Amino acid sequence: MFDYHVHTDFSADSKMPMEKACETALEMGVREIAFTEHLDYFYPNSEFIWEFDYIQYAQRVDALRKQFEHKLTILKAVEVGMHPSTYKRSKKFTDDHEFDFIIGSVHIVEDLDLHNGDYFKGKNLKDSLETYFKIVHNYVKDYQDFNVLGHLTLIKRYLHFVKSSWNQVEWEHYFDIVEEIFKILIESGRGIEINLSGFRYRLDCTLPNLPFVKLYKDLGGEIITIGTDAHTKHFVGNHLDTGYGILKEAGFEYITTFKERKPVFHKIDSLF
């Protein structure tokens, strides 16, 4: 199995040593792990700096690649938080450094943070969702420099700010715009991930969940990864089987890994 979304102490919101993540990955039966550290050049009202030192990061990965040789494949990766004001700078960072895999994520919508609730002030459930999908659509269209779109429907984690929850939403209302998002990704050789952080947030669902993954498949989507979005060792490799189950249920026979930002396809049945 592959865990393609893990944060370590190179990310502002994680204290996990990379070595600990590697050890846990092996215990959990993970053969390949991507350290997708945060890079958000625009993050308003945050106590953290969402950047990391690439040289130190690469040295650490290289050392662990030696230590875990023949046991674990370790990817140099990054989770780029997209924002129009930083497209140029983010692209320069990923162009200037060697990465195997890049996740493009939307954490900030209309200059406002989803996580701290600022985004939801003065909005109802419908406004929140409509604007969220519109912005994701714009970013995916305007920013090309990533391999998979991170945690589509991330907004599910924060709907308590509008006194709602994800299972009260009629998600079909947003299928049209999500279809447009998927078409842009597919046509440009990019894909999506199944993000398992919903289990950490006790939502009991993946981001995105089965209906969206199925929609992506039906539109011809092939590139798809699964990641826990772990920030501590307790979540590395956790619930990956749920992700694979959704993949199969949606009709996928192959899962994607990356090497030097190029996709590689593996028959799912051959992994178990």
Residues found near Zn ion in the complex (CB under 5 A)? 79, 105, 229
Residue 88 is encoded by which pair of tokens?
């140029």
Closest-approach residue to Zn ion (CB): 105
- Given the complex with Zn ion, which of 3 and 79 has the nearer CB atom? 79
Which strand (E) or helix (H) includes residue 267? strand 262-267
100 vs 229 by CB, closer to Zn ion: 229
Least spacing, CB of residue 105 vs Zn ion, in Å: 4
Closest separation in Å from C-beta 13 to Zn ion: 9
Q: By C-beta, is 36 or 128 nearer to Zn ion?
A: 36
Q: How far is the CB of 170 from Zn ion (least distance, A)?
A: 25
The distance of closest approach from Cβ of residue 66 to Zn ion in the complex, given in angstroms and rounded to an integer, is 26
Smallest distance from Zn ion to CB 219, Å: 23
Q: Which is nearer to Zn ion, 35 or 174 (CB)?
A: 35
Q: Which is nearer to Zn ion, 3 or 229 (CB)?
A: 229
Q: What is the CA radius of gyration of the chain?
A: 17
Q: Is 113 exposed, middle or buried (0-12, 13-18, 19+ CB in 10 A)?
A: middle
Comparing C-alpha atoms, which of 212, 237, 201, 203 is closest to residue 5? 237
Q: According to DSSP H, which parts of 72-230 are helical?
A: 87-96, 125-142, 175-187, 197-200, 210-218
Question: How near is the Cβ of 6 to Zn ion at its closest, in Å?
Answer: 8
Residue 155 makes CB contacts below 8 A (sequence gap 6+) with 114, 128, 129, 132
Query: From CA 184, how far away is CA 181, in angstroms rounded?
Result: 5
Judged by beta carbon, residue 138 or residue 268, the one nearer Zn ion is: 138
**Is 44 within 8 Å of 86 (Cβ atoms)?**
no
Q: How far is the CB of 137 from Zn ion (least distance, A)?
A: 18
d(CA 82, CA 224): 19
Q: Are residues 78 and 39 in contact, defined by beta-carbon separation less than 8 angstroms?
A: yes
